[in-house]
Amino acid sequence: MARCEVCGNDYDKSFEVVKQGETHVFDSFECAIHALAPTCEHCGCRIIGHGVEASGRMFCCASCAMAVGVSGLHDRV
């Protein structure tokens, strides 16, 4: 068993995620998202889908990007 790095749960079905060469251990996708998913620069939500990016800035959707003055982005459909 391995201990989740977010909640501390020692779980027999934990899993590892390797991101940029660093290994992380989680007991659920919820904890993995909490630790690793980027946040929208406008609304602060975790981006678990495609999101949009402009000049290194991450947004959950084109609407949030437009709200802070970024133009020319479109949601992927």
The predicted-structure confidence for 46-60, as pLDDT tens digits, reads as follows 999 889 999 999 999
Whether pLDDT at 1 is above 80: no
Could you give the percent of the chain with pLDDT greater than 70? 97
In this structure, are 42 and 73 located in the same domain?
A: yes
Whether pLDDT at 45 is above 80: yes
- The chain-wide mean pLDDT, for the chain, equals 93
Residue-number span of the structural domain to which 27 is assigned = 1-36
In this structure, are 42 and 75 located in the same domain?
A: yes
In this structure, are 17 and 43 located in the same domain?
A: no
In this structure, are 21 and 49 located in the same domain?
A: no
Q: CA distances (Å), 66 to each of 26, 46, 49, 56, in order?
A: 34, 18, 18, 15
Total domain count for the chain?
Answer: 2
Q: How far apart are CA 29 and CA 38, in angstroms?
A: 14
pTM for this model (two decimals): 0.79
In this structure, are 19 and 5 located in the same domain?
A: yes
Residue 64 · residue 40 · CB < 8 Å: yes
